[in-house]
């Protein structure tokens, strides 16, 4: 098995990488764009392993492949950051000051920058100088879930590839092969993940998810009838799941996605929460398309607020009030 055999899905991107290696037309900079859990790092490592492999396949057996697997290959450098943002010194020390040193044991010197969108302006400008005139052996791989935060001049110098969703049946098989989860849990995780294998693995491997899921369902089912003062009590309960808050927002998103599907088609065939059909149907009657869209927008805003360290209770209270206002019984 070559290194790409460990990657689930993303066949077109893999084919591009394999053809580039075969034809000797590897670019100096790549941008892998996709949501968290979509497999960006797995794909970047597989590409790097194939480039560094003595057979250029990622055989897994040669010295270079074993070094990549153990994290000790001298020509594969990961740019990490201790704080939220990647600062200019981290790019200068990690890339600019070392890139002109030729590879130690291979034809390529590869840098992988995770969370590349977290580079501040100075860091991006420092990277840009290297991207403008990279050494022939250099390959820089940027990973991001928000490429819009990167400079246009950086984007223009990268081969950009967007990771799409993985087919549900592939995720189901992967979970069966790599977990001991029950079939019903695997089926739900694969469906809930909406093609994101990292999210599916998280759902089946995180005991706290089930507890948080039940709390979220309790809120969603009763949101249209609870009093405003009761929202404060719900917020106190949610604080227990502060570490899983983005999972909570995912649960809400899927609920209103299902409601939108139900309102559009009238069928439960495309629902993820099929067992909640009755509750979804009861709420769908009282909410407009615009109301659902407004709630989905507010969930996105809540995610951004929390990422920006807005007060937890304030961000969630605003969201729950929006859900109640748009889903109330008239």
d(CA 248, CA 318): 15
d(CA 191, CA 180): 18
% of residues, the chain, pLDDT over 70: 98
* Burial zone of 127 (CB within 10 Å; 0-12 exposed, 13-18 middle, 19+ buried): buried
Q: Which residue has the higher pLDDT, 140 or 239?
A: 140
Quote the pLDDT of residue 330. Answer: 39
d(CA 221, CA 234): 13
Residue among 66, 53, 50 at smallest CA distance from 4: 50
pLDDT above 80 for 65 = yes
Binning pLDDT at 50, 70 and 90, where does residue 329 land?
A: very low
Residue among 160, 120, 126, 166 at smallest CA distance from 142: 160
Q: Which residue has the higher pLDDT, 44 or 84?
A: 44
Whether 223 contacts 320, CB under 8 Å: yes
pLDDT tens digits, 275-321: 899 999 988 888 889 999 999 999 999 988 888 888 888 889 899 99
Binning pLDDT at 50, 70 and 90, where does residue 3 land?
A: confident
pLDDT above 70 for 111 = yes
Q: At what angle do helices 168-178 and 183-192 cross, to 10 degrees?
A: 140
Own/partner contacts of 259-263, CB < 8 Å, gap of 24 or more, are: 259/283, 259/284, 259/287, 259/292, 260/289, 260/292, 260/293, 260/296, 263/287, 263/289, 263/292
Query: What's the order of all strands across the beta sheet hosting 109-113?
Result: 76-79, 109-113, 138-144, 29-33, 159-162
For the chain, list the domains and their CATH numbers.
3-162 (3.40.50.300), 206-327 (1.20.272.10)
Binning pLDDT at 50, 70 and 90, where does residue 256 land?
A: very high
Structure tokens at 128: 């840009």
Looking from the CA of 321 toward its CB, the CA atoms found within 13 Å total: 9
Residue among 151, 147, 316, 322 at smallest CA distance from 242: 316
Strands 138-144, 109-113: pairing is parallel
Quote the pLDDT of residue 139. Answer: 97
Neighbouring CB atoms inside 10 A of 217's CB total 16
Structure tokens at 177: 């092969």
Q: What is the pTM of this model?
A: 0.85
Own/partner contacts of 103-106, CB < 8 Å, gap of 24 or more, are: 103/74, 103/75, 103/137, 104/74, 104/75, 105/64, 105/73, 105/74, 105/75, 106/51, 106/52, 106/64, 106/73, 106/75
> Would the CA dihedral through 146, 147, 148, 150 be positive or negative?
positive
Strand partners, 111: 77, 140
């Amino acid at each position: 098995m070559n290194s790409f055999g460990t990657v689930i899905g993303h066949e077109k991107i893999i084919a591009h990488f394999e053809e580039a290696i075969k034809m000797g037309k590897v670019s100096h900079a790549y941008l892998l764009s996709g949501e968290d859990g979509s497999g960006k790092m797995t794909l970047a490592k597989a590409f790097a392993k194939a480039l560094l492999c003595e057979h250029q396949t990622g055989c897994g057996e040669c010295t270079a492949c074993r070094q990549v697997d153990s994290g000790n290959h001298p020509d594969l450098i990961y740019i990490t950051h201790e704080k939220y943002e990647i600062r200019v010194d981290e790019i200068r020390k990690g890339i600019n000051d070392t890139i002109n040193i030729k590879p130690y044991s291979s034809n390529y010197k590869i840098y992988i920058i995770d969370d590349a969108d977290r580079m501040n302006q100075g860091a991006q400008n420092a990277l840009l100088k290297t991207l403008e005139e990279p050494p022939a052996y250099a390959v820089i791989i940027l990973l991001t879930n928000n490429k819009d935060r990167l400079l246009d001049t950086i984007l223009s110098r990268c081969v950009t590839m967007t990771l799409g969703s993985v087919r549900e049946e592939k995720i189901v098989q992967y979970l069966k092969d790599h977990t001991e989860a029950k079939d019903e849990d695997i089926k739900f995780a694969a469906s809930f993940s909406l093609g994101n294998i990292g999210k599916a693995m998280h759902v089946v491997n995180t005991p706290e998810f089930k507890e948080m899921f039940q709390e979220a369902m309790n809120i969603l089912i009763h949101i249209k009838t609870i009093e405003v003062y009761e929202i404060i009590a719900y917020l106190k309960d949610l604080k227990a799941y502060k570490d899983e808050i983005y999972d909570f927002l995912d649960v809400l998103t899927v609920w209103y996605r299902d409601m939108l599907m139900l309102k559009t088609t009238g069928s439960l065939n495309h629902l993820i929460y099929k067992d909640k059909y009755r509750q979804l149907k009861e709420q769908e009657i009282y909410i407009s398309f615009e109301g659902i869209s407004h709630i989905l927008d507010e969930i996105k805003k809540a995610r951004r607020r929390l990422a920006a360290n807005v007060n937890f209770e304030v961000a969630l209270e605003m969201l729950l009030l929006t859900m109640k206002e748009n889903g109330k019984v008239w």
